[in-house]
Chains A and B, each alone.
Chain A
Amino acid sequence: MVFKQKLFTLLILVVATAKIATAQDVDLFKSQDEQDKKDKLNSTDYITATFKTTRMVNGQSIENVGEGIMDVKVSHRFGTISQGAYGLWGLDAATMRIGLDYGITNRLMVGVGRTNGGLFDGFAKYRLLRQSTGKVNMPVSVSLAGGTIWRTQKDPSLNHYSDRFNFSGQVLIARKFNDFLSLQAVPTIIHYNSVANSTLSNDYYSVGIGGRLRLTKRVNLTAEYYPQFTKREGSTNSFSVGFDIETGGHVFQFHFTNSTGMDDRSFIEETTDKWNSAKGVHFGFNIARVFKIVEPKAVKM
């Protein structure tokens, strides 16, 4: 009787212990894998670095400068390459623009610049929509850009001071298709406060088409074309093709273009050269260097 009881008790305890050992073994590795899969579906991944810098070649790109960061832009456009070795393929005749871009917030940036010849330009660019995948699926990034161009050179043909101003308005629509290809379309309006005579329009419409093809981790092939829908008399459409080379803090852009202007009005509406010969092609470059001005609040080291 006693033996039977003891056996019975032992049996209960063995069963109970065995139950404990198998029932509660949590497998964190499996639950983490399941968690990761769920997170991937529930999170939104915002696409970054559609292009390497805030300009395609001459025109704006969908990219903004980060908050608190200053981007110094130095651009040169040279004479035509038809000048050959004697004129160092155009290097003797240079147009230069120096500009400063600044990120006020991660969505809003502003910039000012001056081209030699007394031409000032200023703009603001705002990120409206960001391309993303995951929970929020946005196929494109959309930004709005608006600018002012101010000619300060002495010009006796101008009647009013306001004649010296142009305005630009753009909607930038871009998509990063994959790590190699990004494309953007930029419907643009350029407004002239004053035109030569009353038969000419003050507003000119164009759609910029730009893109980049990534060749290596740090080198892109870029191209930009701005066909005008309402062509300004005497002008040709701007087309540029070149390379972007990125280092730690610099982006170097080297390209061939038929435009010598570096602000929206000048390169879109005032290009006169044609790509059909060396007499119309110019070599040019942009150098962009970023500096951190304000440390973002979110980061506490």
Chain B
Amino acid sequence: MKKTILALSISALFATSAMAQQKVYSTKTGQISFDATGSCAEAIKAVNNQVDSKLVDKTGQMVVSVLIKSFKFANALMEDHFNENYMESTKFPKADFKGFITNVATVNFAKDGSYPVTAKGKLTIDGREKEMTFNGTAIIEKGKLTIKSNFNVPLNDFIRGSYIGTQISAEAKASLNCKYE
């Protein structure tokens, strides 16, 4: 009887401690900025400070979701054209990434440090999706997670419109910076 109780309590302890190990990191104030300037005299740059992202540490499952209309440009007319003529924001209000950090096992979320990570998954922009791989860095500082990544988006795979490849660069240079809670 005593041993039964001991066995049960050990497994219960095992169960609760295992539950505590899986954590969902999330943020609603992540930042994505991009520069798609081609031969255009004016810079084509925008920043979105309301990136919604979640990450499960155990499985490495990751989602990044952005509202297209939250991308802010210095030039309001450029922002209008971005939404109206290229991104079709009314039809496709969000762009997202759904994938996994393939080497999440190499990240020690409890130990401060900088860990190179690779994320693989589906990027969806303007209703079109593409399997892509992204390289970045997971930074653990005082138990908090930050993910940074610089990546290129081949625009012709996602959007349609004039000047892509000329005034607008065919590959937009983007960077992600998310501080998770």
Which residues of A are in contact with B by a Cβ distance under 8 Å? Answer: 5, 8-9, 12-13, 15-17, 19-20, 23-29, 31-32, 35-36, 39-40, 43, 45, 47-49, 66-69, 103, 106, 179, 217-218, 248-249, 290, 292, 295-296, 298-301
Q: How far is the CA of A179 from the CA of B83 in the complex (A)?
A: 12
Of B15-23, B106-114, B146-154, which stretch is located at the interface?
A: B15-23
Interface residues of B in 41-78 (CB under 8 A from A): 42, 45, 47, 52, 54-56, 59, 61-63, 65, 67, 69, 72-77
B19 and A24 contacting across the interface, CB-CB below 8 Å: yes
Given contacts A24-B19, A28-B56, A36-B94, 11 further A-B contacts (CB under 8 A): A9-B7, A20-B19, A28-B63, A32-B98, A40-B93, A45-B69, A66-B76, A217-B162, A290-B77, A292-B74, A301-B33
- Closest B residue to A10 by beta carbon equals B7
Q: Give chain A nearest CB distance to B132 CB in angstroms.
A: 16
Contacts A8-B4, A16-B14; is A69 near B22 (CB within 8 Å)? no
- Closest B residue to A47 by beta carbon equals B90
A67: chain B residues within 8 A (beta carbon): 76
Which A-B residue pairs are the 6 nearest by beta carbons? Answer: A66-B76, A16-B11, A20-B18, A9-B7, A12-B11, A32-B63
A179: chain B residues within 8 A (beta carbon): 90
Q: How far is the CA of A154 from the CA of B161 in the complex (A)?
A: 52
B12 and A16 contacting across the interface, CB-CB below 8 Å: yes
**A-B CB contact pairs (8 Å), 29 listed:** A5-B3, A5-B7, A15-B11, A17-B18, A20-B14, A20-B15, A20-B18, A24-B18, A24-B22, A26-B56, A26-B61, A28-B24, A28-B54, A28-B55, A28-B56, A28-B63, A40-B93, A48-B84, A66-B80, A68-B76, A69-B75, A103-B76, A217-B85, A248-B40, A248-B167, A249-B42, A299-B74, A300-B47, A301-B74
B84 and A19 contacting across the interface, CB-CB below 8 Å: no
Q: Give chain A nearest CB distance to B174 CB in angstroms.
A: 13
Q: Any chain A CB within 8 A of the CB of B96?
A: yes
Q: How far is the CA of A298 from the CA of B75 in the complex (A)?
A: 11
- B interface majority secondary structure: mixed
A16: chain B residues within 8 A (beta carbon): 11-12, 14-15
Contacts A26-B56, A217-B162, A301-B33; is A66 near B65 (CB within 8 Å)? no
Q: Give chain A nearest CB distance to B95 CB in angstroms.
A: 11
A20: chain B residues within 8 A (beta carbon): 14-15, 18-19
Q: How far is the CA of A292 from the CA of B47 in the complex (A)?
A: 18
Q: Any chain A CB within 8 A of the CB of B105?
A: no
Q: Any chain A CB within 8 A of the CB of B163?
A: yes
The residue that A36 contacts in the complex, of B12, B24, B65, B73, with Cβ under 8 A, is B65
Q: How far is the CA of A5 from the CA of B3 in the complex (A)?
A: 8
A218 and B74 contacting across the interface, CB-CB below 8 Å: no
Contacts A24-B22, A25-B59, A48-B80; is A217 near B161 (CB within 8 Å)? yes
B24 and A26 contacting across the interface, CB-CB below 8 Å: yes
Contacts A8-B7, A28-B56, A45-B69; is A218 near B162 (CB within 8 Å)? yes
The residue that A12 contacts in the complex, of B7, B90, B96, with Cβ under 8 A, is B7
Contacts A20-B19, A48-B83; is A301 near B61 (CB within 8 Å)? no
- Closest A residue to B75 by beta carbon equals A292
Q: How far is the CA of A26 from the CA of B59 in the complex (A)?
A: 9
B75: chain A residues within 8 A (beta carbon): 66, 69, 292
Q: Give chain A nearest CB distance to B87 CB in angstroms.
A: 12
- Closest A residue to B6 by beta carbon equals A9
- Closest B residue to A1 by beta carbon equals B3
Q: How far is the CA of A43 from the CA of B75 in the complex (A)?
A: 24
Contacts A12-B11, A28-B54, A301-B33; is A23 near B19 (CB within 8 Å)? yes
B8 and A12 contacting across the interface, CB-CB below 8 Å: yes
B24: chain A residues within 8 A (beta carbon): 26, 28
Contact with A along B150-173 (1 / 0, CB 8 A): 000000000001110001000000
Q: Give chain A nearest CB distance to B88 CB in angstroms.
A: 9
Q: Give chain A nearest CB distance to B162 CB in angstroms.
A: 7
B85: chain A residues within 8 A (beta carbon): 217-218
Q: How far is the CA of A60 from the CA of B4 in the complex (A)?
A: 85
B90: chain A residues within 8 A (beta carbon): 45, 47, 179
Q: How far is the CA of A108 from the CA of B110 in the complex (A)?
A: 52
Q: How far is the CA of A106 from the CA of B80 in the complex (A)?
A: 13
The residue that B61 contacts in the complex, of A29, A217, A295, with Cβ under 8 A, is A29
